[in-house]
Amino acid sequence: MFSFFKPESGVQAAKGKVVALMNQKGGVGKTTMAFNLAHAFAHQGKKVLCIDMDPQANFTSLFGTVATDLHIYHLLINSIKELKALHTGTLLSDVLIHTEEHIDLIPAGQELSGFELTIAGINAPRQLILKKFIEKNDLRSQYDVIVIDGPPTLGLLVVNILCATDGVLYPFVPDRFSEQGLKNIQQVVADIADMEITSVPKNLGYIPNLFDTRRKQANDDLEQIKITLGEGIVHEPFTNKVQFGKSLAQRKSVFHYKTVEYKDLQRQFVTMTETVDKELHS
Ligand SMILES: Nc1ncnc2c1ncn2[C@@H]1O[C@H](COP(=O)(O)OP(=O)(O)O)[C@@H](O)[C@H]1O
Ligand SMILES: [Mg+2]
């Protein structure tokens, strides 16, 4: 089990990819998708690091981790020289949690909600704190995939995620209110492109979630949204699945179950990993 995390000697360090699940809206499935996608990659033998960037820390709790005192906030603040007065001496090894499923986790906690205020006055580029943290700790050579769960906001936390990531998946609920939220976050991506401070993350596609097949208009709505979104992959929609509720209540991914009722969801997530891989390497 532990050998899984040992760097392979003699083998050139692989360059891991960073993927974020983002949407300004809450309740659209960001955390659910991040959790299951991470497990889908792990099931394919990949070393996965999950980073919880939402102060609500739902991603963290899905791993069965009770509120931790030390988390991503402390690591990020410690990485900013100008904020020496706030440093806690927290090391990555103090914070990193090895989960049972060959996935490591950097948890989040309540303090993360104060991140934007804390860094408001610094001179160093405020947008690149997470990116530099990942670089300084050489996380891309230790993991094949880094999965970031984003908060339902649009501030500096989100900008930091977008600057640190190679690609973004956008879960959304395809109703007539969904377009604006998606457009807003893409405006942030466009602003990052204008700033020319880092490379722009690739759009890895939209994930229609809680797709209501019983509603007559649902298909038409989705088609309309596809047209407005323009370019970009639209992944196979997820309908309302009790299997998500059941599995998440047990803090398990859909890959934990062998029964037939989970097969379709497993297939959907495997397909998603294949699309993500393909897009990130093209
Ligand atoms: N396709 C789905 N079917 C059933 N329940 C879902 C589905 N997607 C998400 N949920 C549930 O909806 C709630 C919100 O999802 P979550 O992933 O936490 O959204 P977000 O991270 O965007 O706020 C969770 O309780 C989750 O279990
Ligand atoms: Mg969430």
pLDDT in tens, 73-114: 999 999 999 999 999 989 999 999 999 779 999 999 999 999
Testing ligand 1's pocket by substitution, the residue of 31, 32, 209, 266 carrying the most ligand atoms inside 8 A of its CB is 32
CATH topology of domain 14-280: Rossmann fold (3.40.50)
The full set of domain ranges for the chain reads 14-280
The band of 231, judged by pLDDT with boundaries at 50, 70 and 90, is confident
Q: What pLDDT shows up at residue 7? A: 44
Q: What pLDDT shows up at residue 224? A: 84
Distance between Cα 38 and ligand 2 center (Å): 14
Which residues, 6 or more positions from 63, have their beta carbon under 8 angstroms from its beta carbon? 50, 97, 99, 103, 105, 107, 251
Q: What three-state secondary structure class fits 119? A: coil
Q: Name the pTM for this structure.
A: 0.94
Residue with tokens 């309309």: 224
Q: What pLDDT shows up at residue 3? A: 41
Cα gap 72→53, rounded to integer Å: 7
Question: Tokens representing 169?
Answer: 């998946």
Q: What pLDDT shows up at residue 14? A: 55
DSSP characters over 25-66: SSSSSHHHHHHHHHHHHHHTT--EEEEE--TT-HHHHHTT--
pLDDT in tens, 148-195: 999 999 999 999 999 999 999 999 999 878 888 898 999 999 999 999
**Ligand 1, pocket residues at CB < 6 Å:** 26-32, 58, 152, 209-210, 238, 240-241, 244-245, 248
